[in-house]
Amino acid sequence: METRCVSCGHVAVNKRSPICAALKDKGAPDADVADAQIPVDKLPRCGERDCRGLLRPNVVFFGETMDSHILTKVEEQMETCDLCLVVGTSSIVYPAAMFGPQIASRGVPVAEFNTNTTPKTEYFTFHFQGPCGTTLPQALAQHESEGI
């Protein structure tokens, strides 16, 4: 729900999907699109100061390095959390694949939500098998109704 400027690094909330009109109907992010033929002047641009750098989703794409500041924040949260939800991941891409097992090693309950078991399932307290869009809301509703 955020964009990040590739030039100045400014992060802004962007709840539009796609992030700009020029990207509408250009295929899914993982689609094999040889050339989306988007005019350069229609690409999303930064509005911070006079930057005008290109915008991208504020996510870590496969093959990119995770920002060390984010990793530090994650590690801090991992030390204090009392429950961890691992949702819709293969649990094979690091460093994210290590978060759930590290928390579980402290005796903290970890609930995995996935369509299949993963290489890390055995480390977790709970495994909810099925589409995350179905299993997660059901588990949260049950949790809420029990006052837990």
Return the CATH number at 44.
3.30.1600.10
132 a known binding residue? no
The domain boundary residue, chosen from 59, 76, 99? 59
pLDDT > 70 fraction of the chain, expressed in percent and rounded: 89
Cβ atoms of 73 and 88 within 8 Å: the answer is: no
Tell me: pLDDT of 148 over 60.
no
Q: What pLDDT, in 10s, does the model give residues 73-94? A: 999 999 999 999 999 888 888 8
Q: Are residues 73 and 32 in the same domain?
A: no
Are residues 73 and 31 located together in one domain of the fold?
A: no
Q: What is the pLDDT of residue 16?
A: 81
> What is the pLDDT, as a whole number, of residue 95?
86
Are both 6 and 34 inside the same structural domain? yes
Query: Is 137 in the same domain as 116?
Result: yes
Band (pLDDT 50/70/90 cuts) for residue 34 is low
**Is the pLDDT assigned to residue 69 strictly greater than 60?**
yes
**One domain for residues 75 and 130:** yes
Mean pLDDT, range 67-77, rounded to an integer? 91
| Cβ pair 49, 24 in contact under 8 A | no
Q: Do residues 25 and 94 both lie within one domain?
A: no
Query: Is there a single domain that holds both residue 53 and residue 73?
Result: no
The whole-number pLDDT of residue 29 equals 59
For the domain that residue 103 is a member of, what is the CATH number? 3.40.50.1220
- What pLDDT score was predicted for residue 40? 86
Note the pLDDT of residue 67: 85
d(CA 126, CA 137): 15
E-strand stretches of 18-98: 55-57, 84-87
Same domain, 73 and 128: yes
81 is in an annotated binding site: no
Band of residue 137 on the pLDDT scale cut at 50, 70, 90: very high
Same domain membership, residue 139 and residue 85: yes
Q: Which long-range contacts (CB under 8 A, 24 or more apart) does 133-139 make?
A: 136/85, 136/87, 139/111, 139/113
pTM of the model: 0.67
Instruction: Name the domain count of the chain.
Output: 2
Q: Across the chain, what does the average pLDDT equal?
A: 87
75 and 37 both lie in a single domain: no
Whether 72 and 139 share a structural domain:
yes
Domain extent, residue 74, equals 68-145
Same domain, 51 and 72: no
Q: By three-state DSSP, how is residue 84 classified?
A: strand
